[in-house]
Every structure is written in structure tokens, then in C-alpha cells.
Amino acid sequence: MAKAKVTLKVGNDGVAVITIFNPPVNALAIPIVVSLKEKFEEAARRNDVKAIVLTGSGGRFSAGFDINVFENVHESGDVLVMPDVSFDFVLNTLEGSKKPVVAAIEGLALGGGLELALGCHARIAAPRTQLGLPELALGVIPGLGGTQRLPRLVGLQKAIEMMLSSKPILSEEGKKLGLIDAIVSPEELLKVSRSWALEIADKHKPWLRSLHRTDKLGSLSEARETLKVARQQARKTAPKLPHHEACLNVIEDGIVHGGYSGLLMEAKVSKELVLADTAKGLVHVFFAQRATSKVPNVTDVGLKPRQIKKVAVIGGGLMGSGIATALLLSNISVVLKEVNSEYLQKGIKKIEGNVKGLVTRRGLTQDEEQKSLALLKGSLDYSDFKDVDMVIEAVIESVPLKQKIFSELEKVCPPHCVLATNTSTIDLNVVGEKTNSHDRIVGAHFFSPAHVMPLLEIVRTEKTSAQVILDLFTVGKIIKKVPVVVGNCTGFAVNRAFFPYFHSAHLLVNSGVDVFRIDRIIRDFGLPMGPFQLQDLGGYGVALAAGKELSRAFPDRTFKSPLVEILIKNGRNGKNNGKGYYIYEKGSKPKPDFSVLPLIEESRRVTNIMPGGKPLTVTDQEILEMMLFPAVNEACRILDEGIVIRAADLDIASVLGMSFPSYRGGIVFWADQVGPKHIYASLKKWSGLYGNFFKPSRFLEERATKGLPLSAPASSSPSSRSRI
């Protein structure tokens, strides 16, 4: 790879063009920042330089500050690793330059990249350039003056919206707002920027320093009202993310006391936030998601993905229709197979409804909607399977049915066709038992609803070929999923790690703990819903089928609760029929259904595990730990068995598949923050009180005893099933 550098070239017109060269996105690594300062100081000294243009190479301005620096800060605990860029460079060298500086922006200017552009005296952009300050998505706030300069250029309300949402805008909108001075073609960008810089130097255009402007801020009372509304919104939408409110405080300081004061507070708060747990968790998740693209013996052996033009989906239920929708929206032709015309029409209607829903949510055009649906064909037999490149089976969790389907697929599909199953729990060797095509059988485990949830677990057996994994991995990327390759076992990674969480919820309820209290505690921790509401949402049939498979595979650590069967017997099926633990009425939020309490009492009588016949007395913190520590314990077994390539894969899978709060970094990262010793001691105590369900795993015991983090690579783990 070419060495990162900053170049300075002076033209005959007296304009110095300073170019950031750090492929692929011109990240502002520390050496780049140092070099930028040197080049600007050189341009300032030189008598042949009248004006300066700052730009980026390769059609990109800059994607911002190098996030690896945050990781270094987290590892060392030393915030001084981060240089003072805000005052030393952006304020004094760039904005304070005695020669006008124009930013020539193409492709993207994000985070620190946009903050550099804000420090320039004018900004010229190419069409459809992305402009944004996404720092809050990493648990920090803009730290190079963005909290002060952006409101002064686009107005307070829009600046708050851009920062708190972390979403970029395009240069066309930036021009309307006053962030961009002109939009020109990429071919004309440097020429126009040079000319603009000279016109400022010759006093034909205004020399504007963003930090000094106040014309877009409005009156102090208006600004305070805007900030008050924003704070109320932040408390409502991001109650667990204190950096949202910290960002608003910094913005307010600059409005009340002036831009320089705001910069001082921004620098102080930035340093505090970068060391906070929220930033540690979010930065870890960022790198964990990146790491999923590296799959040993698949992405590093020179293989090229085959083109997947046509995919058959078997089963048009909730999962099948969702998978088909995701494929169609990415211009992949789909054959949807069902057992009869009635089910087929229902499946097609679901897909049409999914696509229409995304027209509203994602802003798809009617034309895009029609084009997507034109790629769908329904079928009641295998006649359209002769030229498919991939099949994804998405029928109910029945071993005999899946085995029958796969033995049929082997006969009707072309030899290159990838044979995938969307099973959520069943061992793939069992699914493909009656076939001779073990090398092309792979798990494609989507999460519900499949066209919305971002995770795709790719499950490999010892015989699945690297080419098949790469093909499915590539399709996952095309349909905008995050594919995580995992080894084959019952429940795979996410469902296996979290089945004890659901079993523990039932154990607690049968021990006398209130069902709605458990859900509230889990919501307070940061998950969008508790285990019982989630069970309502998924349907009780799914819960029973998955529970049966997992109990069969791991009988030593399951809790057999009759509660779900009692609910079904009494005509309840969760959200499917509007009655479960909660009442579901159209147009209103789920409400606790207190008429379920006698059924819970019936379950308690059957299990008879309440200590001394009285409800278990536990604190909210104990409930939280009794729910999550068994999941950590199972995660330890998954790590020990090599089901995932790296601990970070289980973290990103828990965030994207189970909605584990991203700011807590994922299940393993969170457990390391809590401390393996505390988790081990708690589980050991509970196993003595309540039985083997809580028995600590060998891996957890070893890590706790040796004082090692759970995420540290195993020194002598068995051959990794995710790498084979």
C-alpha cells in the first residue's frame, strides 16, 4: 500500500494545493495531521503562495479522524495519545491563516474531515458529496470545532439534527443551508477552488471565518428554546447515552459565551467522553463489525465469489418472505416456492407488503418498487430450480421436512447451486444427513424480520466448501447484511448464547419473580424489550420448537418450564393473536395483560420451585445478573469450542441479532467490563443454591482463576469450527 502523506504543489497562479493522501478514505492519522500542519506552515512562509486549496486524493476529501487512535487511548488509558488538533491546527493554523484557504471537497467529508473544511474560509464541493459529523455514533462528540462551527454555518436546529443523528447530508442540501459555497463537477473542482481562493485574496469575495459568525444562530432566547426541545428529545430517544446531552451542553456554551469558550469546553468534554464506557463499547462494536470481513481460509486464499443471479426461497412465511424481500431489493431474481396456491399467494402478499413498507421507510420510488417485484416468481414445484444459483430453505423447524427438502434439492438443482438453510437451531449435519452434497450445504440464519434485521449468521460444517461460504458471504453483503461466519452446533452462536437467558427468565418467574418486572429490568439495561415480550413477538410455536432442540442438545443446563404450553392451552399465542403476556391492539403500544397472572401461578404450582413455597426475594441487579450471566457462561463455551472465529464476532452478533445494547460493546466485551471473577463467583453461588443450571463452565473458571479477560484468544483451544 502507498505510504500515507500530505503533498504541497504551488501553481503558476500562486495557489498552493495541499493534498491528503491516505487511501482508502484519507483518514486523519496522527502523522497526517502533523504533516498537514507542516505543509500549511510552509505555504504561509513562501512568498510565491497567495492562497491555499485543501483537498483529498482519490476522489475523497477525508472520512475523518483515525479511529485507531481511540483504540490506543482505550488500551493505554492515556488521553494524551490524542494530539491537540482543534486549537493548534484548525483554529490557529487553518482558520487563522493569513492566506485564504478553500476546501475542495469530493466524495465525502465526514467527522474530522468536515471539521477541517469548516475551518477553511470557503468550501467548494462536487455533486452528491457526503457531509456529516457522525462522532456521536462512536460515543464521542466532534472534537475539532464541529460543535461550534457547524451551527454558525447551517443554523442551530439543523446542526443539532446532523450531530445527534450522525447522518450525513449531500452537498446539494449543504449548498442550500450555506455549508457549501458552490457545487461544481469533479473535473472543475480544483480549477474553481483555486480561482475562488485567489478572489478572496484579491478581496473580490468575502474572507469568512466560521467561528466568528453569529448571523445563523438567532437570538439567545430562540437558541435556548431549540436546545431545550433537543434535550427533551435526547432524553426520550437516547436515555442511556449521556454524550448526546454533553454535546448539547457544549453547543450551548459556545452560543452563550462565544465560539472560543465553546472550543475550550468541547476539548475538555471530548477528552472525558473518549475514556467513558460508552465510547469504549461503541468503538469496540465498530471494529468488531469491520473484523467480520476477515474469514480465515475463505477470504484470504485467493478465491473469487461466483455471481448469484437467481435465488430460490422455499417457504413464504414470516422468514421466507423477509429473505425474499431483502434479495429482491438488491436486484436478485427470486423464485418463491410454496406447498399450495393459498400459501403461495399469502407469501407473495407478504413480500409486496414488505416492499411497500420500505417505500415509505427508506424512501424507495414507485419505479424501484415495481422493478423489485418484477423479479419475483411464484412456484408450486421445482420446475424453476434448474438454473438457480442458490436455494434458501425457510420452512418450519421440522427435521424430517428439512431432510426431505434437501434430498429433493440435490436432484433438481444444478451442481454449482449453494444449498442453504435458514434453520435457527438444528445442526446442519442433521439437515443434510440424507444427501451427498455436504460440501455445498451451509446455514443462512437470518433474524426476524429478515428484510430489516442486519445480522446474517453463516453456518459452516466441517465439509462446507470455502467457495460456498464466500458466495453466501458476498450475497449477504449485497443485500446489506453483516455476515458473521460461525461453526455448526445446535443454536449456532446467537441463539445458543442466549437460550440460557430465556430459560433463566422462566426459572425466575417460576420462583415467584414478577414477569413484567423482569421485562422492565432488561429494558432498563438497554435491550428494546424483555424476554417475555420478545417471546410474544416471535410466537410460542417458535419458542417451543427452538426450546425442544436446545434442551435435547444441552440437557444439563436447561430449565423445563410448562408456562408456554399453559398459555397455548388457554388460547394465547402472543402477538399473533393479540394475547400473550401483553395485550396487542392495533395502533397502541403493548400493555401488560394481568389476566395472565393466574396462568403463571398454575405454572408455579407445577414446577414447585419457590423457596419454602414463598416468592424468591431478589434485587433488580440480582435479576439482571441472573438473566445475563448464564448467557455469558454459554458464550464462554462457544469461545472454548471455537464456534466463532474471535470473541468480537460474538459481540457484533449479539448486538445485531439480539439487540444487545451497542454502547455496552456486546455480550463478551460487557462481561469483561463486569469482570470474569464476579461472574464466576455469582454463578458458583447460584449453582449451590438453585442447581446445575447456573454451573460455571470450565472456560469461565479458568479465565476467572488466572485473571484473564474472556476475549483473550485461547492458548490451546480445540480446532476452531468456524475456521475449518
pLDDT tens-digit readout, 640-686: 999 999 999 999 999 999 999 999 999 999 999 999 999 999 999 99
Residue 198: pLDDT band with limits 50, 70, 90: very high
Residue 440: pLDDT band with limits 50, 70, 90: very high
* pLDDT exceeds 70 at position 722: no
Which of 445, 466, 488 delimits the end of a domain?
488
Instruction: Give the residue carrying C-alpha cell 473518549.
Output: 274
Least Cα distance to 19 among 40, 49, 44 occurs for 40
Q: Residue 713 has what pLDDT?
A: 86
Whether residue 662 sits in one domain with residue 636 = yes
The C-alpha atoms of residue 556 and residue 18 are separated, in whole angstroms, by 65
* pLDDT exceeds 60 at position 264: yes
Dihedral sign for Cα atoms in the order 23, 24, 30, 34: positive
Stretch 278-290: mean pLDDT: 96
101: Cβ–Cβ under 8 A, 6 or more apart, which residues?
51, 52, 53, 54, 94, 119, 120, 121, 197
* pLDDT exceeds 50 at position 286: yes
Whether residue 121 sits in one domain with residue 100 = yes
The DSSP bridge partners found for residue 390 are 311, 418
Stretch 338-361: mean pLDDT: 92
Which of 488, 518, 553 delimits the end of a domain?
488
Q: Tell me, yes or no, whether 282 lies in a domain.
A: no
Q: Residue 723 has what pLDDT?
A: 59
Q: Tell me, yes or no, whether 522 lies in a domain.
A: yes
Residue 717: pLDDT band with limits 50, 70, 90: very low
Percent of the chain with pLDDT over 90: 88
Q: Tell me, yes or no, whether 682 lies in a domain.
A: yes
pLDDT in tens, 386-398: 999 999 999 998 9
The three-state secondary structure class of 82 is coil
What is the domain extent for residue 324? 310-488
- Is 370 or 53 the better-scoring residue by pLDDT? 53
Q: Tell me, yes or no, whether 290 lies in a domain.
A: no
Least Cα distance to 69 among 241, 291, 275 occurs for 275
Neighbour order of strands in the sheet with 108-110: 108-110, 130-132, 169-170
- DSSP per-residue string spanning 249-318: HHHHHHHHH-HHHHHHHHHHHHHHHHTSHHHHHHHHHHHHHHHTT--TTTTTS---PPP--EEEEE--SH
* pLDDT exceeds 80 at position 364: no
Q: Residue 41 has what pLDDT?
A: 97
Whether residue 202 sits in one domain with residue 138 = yes
Least trusted range by pLDDT, from 205-209, 493-497, 716-720: 716-720
Whether residue 257 sits in one domain with residue 319 = no
CB 61 within 8 A of CB 106: yes
> Is the pTM above the cut of 0.95?
no
Q: Residue 630 has what pLDDT?
A: 98
Whether residue 415 sits in one domain with residue 365 = yes
**Omega of the bond leading into 449 within 30 degrees of 0 (cis):** yes
CB 506 within 8 A of CB 550: no
* pLDDT exceeds 60 at position 1: no
Whether residue 271 sits in one domain with residue 321 = no
- Is 547 or 459 the better-scoring residue by pLDDT? 459
Pairing of strands 51-56, 15-21: parallel
Whether residue 96 sits in one domain with residue 13 = yes
Least Cα distance to 509 among 566, 551, 552 occurs for 566
* pLDDT exceeds 70 at position 705: yes
Q: Tell me, yes or no, whether 482 lies in a domain.
A: yes
The DSSP bridge partners found for residue 443 are 421, 459
CB 99 within 8 A of CB 190: no
Whether residue 373 sits in one domain with residue 261 = no
Least Cα distance to 518 among 581, 430, 452, 457 occurs for 581
Q: Tell me, yes or no, whether 156 lies in a domain.
A: yes
Kindly tell me the number of DSSP H helices and DSSP E strands found in the chain: 28, 19
The C-alpha atoms of residue 637 and residue 629 are separated, in whole angstroms, by 13
- DSSP per-residue string spanning 125-193: E-TT-EEE--GGGGT----SSHHHHHHHHH-HHHHHHHHHH---EEHHHHHHHTS-SEE--TTTHHHHH
Whether residue 414 sits in one domain with residue 542 = no
Stretch 279-300: mean pLDDT: 96
- Provide long-range contacts, Cβ within 8 A and 24+ apart, for 478-482: 478/308, 478/330, 478/332, 479/326, 479/327, 479/329, 479/330, 479/332, 480/326, 480/330, 480/454, 481/326, 481/446, 481/454, 481/455, 481/456, 482/289, 482/292, 482/454, 482/455, 482/456, 482/652, 482/656
Q: What is the CATH number of the domain that holds 24?
A: 3.90.226.10
pLDDT in tens, 689-703: 999 999 999 999 999
Residue 721: pLDDT band with limits 50, 70, 90: low
CB 145 within 8 A of CB 91: yes
**Residues carrying an active site annotation:** 115, 135
Whether residue 202 sits in one domain with residue 112 = yes
CB 266 within 8 A of CB 148: yes
- Looking at residue 628, its amino acid is L
HSE, CB side, 13 Å, CA atoms: give it for residue 594.
0
What is the average pLDDT score of the chain? 94
Written as nine digits, the cell of 101 is 484557504
Which of 435, 456, 488 delimits the end of a domain?
488
pLDDT in tens, 490-518: 899 999 999 999 999 999 999 999 999 99
- Looking at residue 202, its amino acid is D
Whether residue 83 sits in one domain with residue 204 = yes
- Is 358 or 399 the better-scoring residue by pLDDT? 399
Stretch 159-170: mean pLDDT: 97
**Omega of the bond leading into 127 within 30 degrees of 0 (cis):** no
Q: What is the CATH number of the domain that holds 573?
A: 1.10.1040.50
- Looking at residue 582, its amino acid is Y
Q: Tell me, yes or no, whether 723 lies in a domain.
A: no
Whether residue 204 sits in one domain with residue 143 = yes
* Separation of CA 383 from chain center: 39
Percent of the chain with pLDDT over 70: 98
Q: Residue 2 has what pLDDT?
A: 65
CB 435 within 8 A of CB 441: yes
Q: Residue 210 has what pLDDT?
A: 97
Q: Tell me, yes or no, whether 715 lies in a domain.
A: no
Q: How many independent structural domains does the chain possess?
A: 3
pLDDT in tens, 7-46: 999 999 999 999 999 999 999 999 999 999 999 999 999 9
